[in-house]
Structure 1
Amino acid sequence: MKINHTLPLEYRTHQNQINILGFWIFLGAEIMLFATLFAGYFTLVNRTGNGPTGTEIFEITPVLLETMILLTSSFTIGLGIHAMRLGNQKAMQVFFAITLLLGLGFLSLEVYEFIHYVHIGAGLQTSAFTAALLTTLGTHGAHVTFGIFWGFFIIFQLKTRGLTPETANKSFIFSLYWHFLDVVWIFIFSFIYLKGMI
């Protein structure tokens, strides 16, 4: 395997470069998935029937907390990648662990939010609006859940195999995924919650 030592660790082999390119293509497909969910939501947002509207169910406090937690996790995963490029595996693992803990905090707030919606009568079968809302939020939450499990496996591999071009490549790809989830959440926060509260 030919290694180019002038590149960052995660790019040093040809296979690693192909892996990163392939993941960018995968993220393109994920963008299409969420674009479809947003299009469905915006089509159905006013079809509330006898159910509640966004202004009636959205609460700013938990949404702001979710946003701050997820944006902070994007910062900590960035610090983890910076530590990786400095060759500091211990700091990298700490920042990755903090990222995953923040992800768990985000998920716990989202579970609370879902329970609250169902409790006030805004379930999947209440209206087209609530179905589209919960589907969009649930899809993002499922991606975060998957990311948390993936992140734990990355940390485990770093502990068992050390910081190599392969583990660095996997870690970098995971960080791209996590940043993508944060970008999607910014759209959810801006165009679903904030717009829905007006």
Structure 2
Amino acid sequence: MTEREKMLLGENYDPSDDELVRLRLNARLLTETLNQTSVSFSEKRVEIIKSLFGSTGNNIHIESTFNCDYGLNIHVGENFHANFGCVILDVAEVRIGDNCFIGPQVGIYTATHPIDPIQRKSGIESGKPVTIGNNCWIGGHATINPGVTLGENVVVASGAVVTKSFASNLVIGGNPARVLKVIEPS
């Protein structure tokens, strides 16, 4: 099994593997190009995002700066918007539904490291996928941790640290995030 296959299966993998280094470099070059492309060239920016991500809807918008590990493991639906300073560490899949809005300085992380210091020192890593349902809004400076699934119509309050999964139709916030309110869609 390749290191990339291990990575995508959530197993321990070696990030110094030649293929993974090459894929990360490609993502860095594409995000560098995206971040240096003027907002007046919106079609070019969309083209770059589509070549970076694994899949997208047609209507997508990302403010610069944006950073990710691979890009290929990020899948977003229609009407996706990420505000300034978004970071998505996509060593595992990140799936974001339709009509989702990501506030400024949001971090979505799939990457994780061993708790044991000897294993961590070896350089191995692993990842857990993140899934965000349709019609979600992630407030500024929120953090979505590895392995989290958010249902549909979830609002994550600014500054929240989401360490576990939540069902649909909720406002969540705090550190660690907890249910603040149930949403009754009209």
TM-score, normalized by length of structure 1? Answer: 0.27
Q: Which structure carries more strand by proportion?
A: 2
Q: Which structure carries more helix by proportion?
A: 1
Q: Indicate the structure whose relative CO is greater, using CA pairs within 8 Å and at least 6 residues apart.
A: 1
Larger radius of gyration: 1
TM-score, normalized by length of structure 2? Answer: 0.29
